Structures are given as C-alpha cells and as structure tokens.
Amino acid sequence: MNELFKALSDPTRRKILELLKEKDMSAGEIADYFNISKPSISHHLNILKNANLVLWEKDGQNIIYSINTTAMQEIVKWIFDFAEGSDQDDENK
C-alpha cells in the first residue's frame, strides 16, 4: 500500500493515470503530453508499474501501457472501508 500511495503522490503520475484511463498508450505517446524528458516519463512509469497501477505489454518495438483497473478498485475499496471505520468510530464515541 505504501508504494501505491507514493506513486499517487506525484501530479505527473496522476496525470499519466488520467491519460491511460482514456486509452492505452506507449511511453512516447504519454511523453507527448508533458514538457519533461522521456527518461523522466520512463521513471514515472516504472514507479506506477512497481505500485501495480499500470500494466504493460510489448507490441513490436513499443511497450503499450494500460491502467490496472483491479488495483484502482482495491484503492477505492480501501478508502471506503477506511471511511466506514471512521463513521463507526464516531458513533461509538
């Protein structure tokens, strides 16, 4: 979970996830949306991969990235479970 929140803490990585929500993309296509170097985009993609937020598939010479919807569902579930626990704590006071 720590890797996941670390990955989500950066605005560039959040923007990458927003782009991938719309469609699968190569690193070069993703880089076109930013004013940073391609190695920096690769670094951000590696952090997202390590957090299991993106999936990748080799397509010839390109790697195509997609959002890992299962991981996103797990995040949302954790947040809802956490919020429900907070509501119950308030009721018990």
In a domain, 86, yes or no: no
Helix 11-22 crosses helix 38-50 at what angle (to 10 degrees)?
Answer: 80
In a domain, 83, yes or no: no
What's the pLDDT tens digit per position in 31-84?
999 999 999 999 999 999 999 999 999 989 999 999 998 888 888 888 899 898
Round to whole Å and give the CA distance between 91 and 33.
46
Look at the chain and report how many structural domains it folds into: 1
pLDDT of residue 91: 54
pLDDT of residue 66: 97
CA-atom Rg of the chain in angstroms: 16
pLDDT of residue 4: 86
What's the pLDDT tens digit per position in 13-42?
999 999 999 999 999 999 999 999 999 999
In a domain, 21, yes or no: yes
| CATH number of the structural domain spanning residue 28 | 1.10.10.10
In a domain, 41, yes or no: yes
Q: Model-level pTM? A: 0.83
In a domain, 89, yes or no: no
- Across the strands, what pairs with 55? 66
Round to whole Å and give the CA distance between 26 and 6.
23
Host domain of residue 11: 2-68
* DSSP label of 39: H
In a domain, 87, yes or no: no
